[in-house]
């Protein structure tokens, strides 16, 4: 088979999880020569939105945390079962993650907290009959009737839905907004129906031993290094040129590298697999004394997608996703401390050891702030005397309850003061601040872009109709039944792309039909009446 591929090249545009997964499928399942696989990434590091970086001197940074799930990440676990662990000899990354997760079970004891600092009893979902009927009707409505509808459109007649414990927990777990796409809420309800009955404890969250870069991206890159895969960093792809005719055939990849423009000409049989949208485009960092900037203009992947979509039919429409940063942004912050004083205080308050509590949400926060305290260490290079946690706010244009500034204008210090005030640790703020190394804010203008209201046709197919050598892989392609904003979506898209373009007759793990499991449905119904 290698002879068949001898002179053929595959070019991945973007170096995120989807491209890395696609490269694994090429070398593992297609026996494709690694040196003929090229991953073009505009940043200086691979991993895309699966990041984790920093040090104990300047502070660590997680722009966010990507939730895994044992029951629904079918292709993710299959892929990671092929990747050797970097720390445990003879063990796969899949087994490593699941073993760690089973040793660190999640059971949140402080899921929602009110303005008085009291942990709310969230065993009850808080639904009334109108809420339940609206949800049931949504589950029964065909997707083709939901074009461009927002969640708030569906529940306009039952505004009480947005005051329920369920909505606050579901919204902050998955980062939905009231104006998010109704498509996506319905798909999440279908795909995560078993999570419905345990949303108050988040027992379904699967933990990685470290942040997702160290636990997932680094082992995959190491695996691909052994095959000689070419990683071309700081290569920003600016455009694709197509051959004339009705088919979709990429003939040239245009790029910038070190301030110089260049082109890659594709020969017959070469493939181009494009990340057509990235939710962390234009992300910017601040620090303890500096706010992160809101940079809405010219998202790299969104611009590329717009250029190629204008040239050929069937490549989707980026405007609904990359056209309104005011609706798609939220902001995270990562806190690095010397010692564990603050983590111990949070542990006592929440009755959760680091790594066991998932998300703590301050229900009355004007920013709708949540925090996550992961098991320590959360970074491979994190010293024993250093601790970290991260959090985020969904409403960055709102003034804080305690710090009288909108979130996006706040420094890292001000974000931490707002958090400590919600925890009612005000009397110890000065002492806590003495242990703080840094608080790094991260503004992400397009982090919720994949949740924007849309028509079904706005997301292109992974392999568009008429394509001879182009596939698109990202959170912005259309995969029936699956849910965006997940590792699984990226990996499933990559697998579809590679198998389709190379004509491989090999099964892709299907979406597990939890929605049709009677026991799961009964649990969900019972939970809705709690």
Spacing of C-alpha 109 from chain mean position? 24
Spacing of C-alpha 123 from chain mean position? 27
Residue 71 main-chain phi, psi, to 5 deg: -80, -30
Buried b (16+ CB within 10 A) or exposed e, 167-196: bbbbbbbbbbbebbbbbbbbbbbbbbbbbb
Instruction: Kindly list the catalytic residues.
Output: 188
| Closest of 504, 506, 501, 505 to residue 468, by C-alpha | 501
Are 175 and 151 contacting, i.e. CB atoms less than 8 angstroms apart? no
> Are β-strands 386-393 and 330-338 bridged in parallel, bridged antiparallel, or unpaired?
antiparallel
| Closest of 448, 445, 442, 447 to residue 292, by C-alpha | 442
Report the helix count and the strand count for the chain, using DSSP H and E.
Answer: 18, 17
How many Cβ atoms sit within 10 Å of the Cβ of residue 294?
Answer: 18
Residue 297 token pair: 């203009």
Helix (H/G/I), strand (E/B), else coil: 109: coil
Buried b (16+ CB within 10 A) or exposed e, 59-78: bbbbbbbbbbbeebbbbbbe
User: How many residues are recorded in the chain?
Assistant: 530
| Closest of 447, 324, 335, 322 to residue 394, by C-alpha | 447
| Closest of 505, 489, 509 to residue 21, by C-alpha | 489
- Cis bond upstream, residue 377 (ω within 30): yes
User: Who's near 220: CB < 8 A, 6+ residues apart?
Assistant: 17, 20, 21, 24, 83, 93
Burial (Cβ within 10 Å: 0-12, 13-18, ≥19) of residue 512 = middle
């Amino acid at each position: 088979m290698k002879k068949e591929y001898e002179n053929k090249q595959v070019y991945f545009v973007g170096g995120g999880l989807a491209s890395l997964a696609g490269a694994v499928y090429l070398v593992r399942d297609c026996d494709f020569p690694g040196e003929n696989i090229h991953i073009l990434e505009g940043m200086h590091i691979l991993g895309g939105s699966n990041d984790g970086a920093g040090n104990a001197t300047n502070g660590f940074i997680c722009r966010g945390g990507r939730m895994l799930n044992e029951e629904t990440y079918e292709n993710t676990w299959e892929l990671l079962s092929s990747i050797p662990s970097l720390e445990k000899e003879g063990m796969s990354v899949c087994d490593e993650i699941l073993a760690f997760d089973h040793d660190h079970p999640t059971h949140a004891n402080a899921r929602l907290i009110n303005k008085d600092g009291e942990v709310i009893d969230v065993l009850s979902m808080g639904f009334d009959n109108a809420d339940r009927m609206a949800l049931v009707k949504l589950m029964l409505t065909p997707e083709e009737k939901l074009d461009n509808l927002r969640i708030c459109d569906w529940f306009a007649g039952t505004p009480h839905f947005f005051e329920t414990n369920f909505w606050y927990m579901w919204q902050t777990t998955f980062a939905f907004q009231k104006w998010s796409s109704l498509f996506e809420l319905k798909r999440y309800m279908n795909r995560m129906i078993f999570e419905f009955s345990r949303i108050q404890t988040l027992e379904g969250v699967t933990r990685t031993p470290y942040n997702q870069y160290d636990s997932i991206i680094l082992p995959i890159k190491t695996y691909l290094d052994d095959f000689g895969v070419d990683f071309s960093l700081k290569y920003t792809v600016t455009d694709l040129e197509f051959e004339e005719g009705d088919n979709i055939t990429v003939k040239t990849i245009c790029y910038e590298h070190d301030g110089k423009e260049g082109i890659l000409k594709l020969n017959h049989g070469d493939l181009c697999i494009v990340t057509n949208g990235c939710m962390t485009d234009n992300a910017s960092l601040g620090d303890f004394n500096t706010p992160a900037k809101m940079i809405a203009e010219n998202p790299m992947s969104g611009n590329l997608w717009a250029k190629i979509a204008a040239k050929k039919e069937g490549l989707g429409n980026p405007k609904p996703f990359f056209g309104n940063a005011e609706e798609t942004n939220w902001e995270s912050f990562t806190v690095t401390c010397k010692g564990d004083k603050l983590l111990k205080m949070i542990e006592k308050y929440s009755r959760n050891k680091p790594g066991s509590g998932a998300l703590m949400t301050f229900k009355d926060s004007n920013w709708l702030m949540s925090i996550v305290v992961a098991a320590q260490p959360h970074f491979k290079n994190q010293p024993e005397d250093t601790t970290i946690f991260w959090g985020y706010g969904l409403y960055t244009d709102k003034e804080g309850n305690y710090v009288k500034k909108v979130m996006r204008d706040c420094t890292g210090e001000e974000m931490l003061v707002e958090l400590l005030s919600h925890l009612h640790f005000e009397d110890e703020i000065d002492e806590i601040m003495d242990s703080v190394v840094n608080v790094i804010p991260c503004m992400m203008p397009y982090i919720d872009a994949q949740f924007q209201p849309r028509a079904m046709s706005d997301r292109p197919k992974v392999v568009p109709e008429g394509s001879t050598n182009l596939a698109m892989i990202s959170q912005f392609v259309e995969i029936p039944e699956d849910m965006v904003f997940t590792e699984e979506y990226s990996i499933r898209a990559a697998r579809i792309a590679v198998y389709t373009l190379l004509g491989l007759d090999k099964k892709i793990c299907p979406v597990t039909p939890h929605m049709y499991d009677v026991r799961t449905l009964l649990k969900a119904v019972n939970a809705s009446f709690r």
